[in-house]
Amino acid sequence: MQAELPGLDPAQIEVKISDSMMTIRAEEHAEREETSGAYHLRERSSGSFQRLFRLPSGIAADRVEARYDKGILKITLPKTAEAMEKERRIEVKPA
């Protein structure tokens, strides 16, 4: 699973799993100050993001990993051994 979260620091991103739900939350607070001979400028901005996902059965919650690189959050959701055993490939035949 991937989410585009540009301009954030990994410390601003939170990923939680509870039962069969995964929450991705991020908060950004930015402040900019600029001083010139004629004026003094101070800007503050903040924003938040939250998204909840229902996880399918068969996800190994204890092995979920999240990595953030160049504005992209990548979450790996590995399957449990039982889920892997139940998986079956179906042959596709021409008509």
**What are the pLDDT tens digits along the chain (95 aa)?**
999 999 899 999 999 999 889 999 999 888 888 888 888 888 888 889 899 999 988 899 899 999 999 999 999 999 888 888 887 889 999 98
pTM of the model as a whole: 0.71
Burial of 84 (0-12, 13-18, 19+ CB in 10 A): exposed
Contact indicator for 63, 75 with CB cutoff of 8 Å: no
Please tell us whether the domain made up of 2-86 is placed in CATH 3.90.1150.10: no
Domain ranges, ordered by start, for the chain: 2-86
| Cα–Cα dist 70/62, whole Å | 26
Measuring CA to CA, how many Å separate 26 from each of 37, 41, 48, 75, 78? 37, 27, 6, 15, 23
Q: For residues 60 and 79, is the Cβ–Cβ distance under 8 A?
A: yes
